[in-house]
Amino acid sequence: MHDMNRWIDRACRGLEALIAVMLALMVVLVFGNVVLRYLFNSGITVSEEVSRWLFIWMTFLGAIVALREHGHLGVDMVVQRLPAWGKKICLALGHVLMLFILWLLLQGSIAQARINWDVTAPTTGASMAIVYLSCVVFAVCAGFLLLLDLWRLLSGQMDEAELVMVQESEEAVQLQQILAAEAGDASAHRKGEK
């Protein structure tokens, strides 16, 4: 299990790097298009279309990373007050519902990708199925992560602190990340002193 977690963490870091490259390319395309339009009265023809596609892919890939880091926002005030068994039931029900929604998303995305496989985009001429494949990738990866969390819950490998997987606010997420990093630094410092 530990090896799988390391592999998933590496895959998420790879996704983060890919998202950064996509964002940089999107900025170059949009900014370059604006500069060319205002200074030279020309532009990059594919800029708008490719930027839109990059944004769609960045959104779905980012959602995978956020799901892994349990960074999605939600209301946890009721679940926080439940006993451990209540938190487990809520978590299991939530994961089962999300898996069902992902199944629907996967089916719909595959159907749309098939329908749009031969439809070409106006400026690039690429298949419009590229847009719907981002949903397929998200549904498969998110489903895997949810099944892994559900298996950890049912096999008793999940701590009580992990039973609430949403955050009330973005500030709380950032604070927890800072505290976790500081705790890791302190632990490494103590090991170095020994």
The residues pairing with 167 across neighbouring beta strands, listed in sequence order, are: 73
pLDDT of the residue at 62:
93
* pLDDT of res. 85: 84
pLDDT at 187: 64
Q: What is the pTM of this model?
A: 0.77
Per-residue pLDDT reduced to its tens digit, 50-60: 999 999 999 99
On the question of pLDDT at 21 being above 80, the answer is yes
Give the length of the chain.
Answer: 194
pLDDT class of 86 with cuts at 50, 70, 90: confident
Q: Is the pLDDT of residue 185 over 90?
A: no
3-class DSSP assignment, residue 83? coil
Side-chain-side CA neighbours of 153 within 13 Å: the count stands at 24
| Side-chain-facing half-sphere of 69: CA atoms under 13 Å | 22
Per the CB < 8 A criterion, the answer to whether 54 and 22 are in contact is yes
Question: What residue type is assigned to position 145 of the chain?
Answer: L
Q: State the Cα–Cα distance between residues 160 and 179, nearest whole angstrom.
A: 18
Q: Domain locations in the chain?
A: 2-193
Structure tokens at 123: 């400026």
pLDDT at residue 41 in the model: 81
Average pLDDT, stretch 9-21? 93
Q: What average pLDDT does range 122-144 have in this prediction?
A: 92
CA 124 from chain centre, in angstroms, equals 27
pLDDT band for 156, please (50, 70, 90 cuts). confident
Tell me which residue of 155, 138, 136, 149 sits closest to 96, measured CA to CA.
149
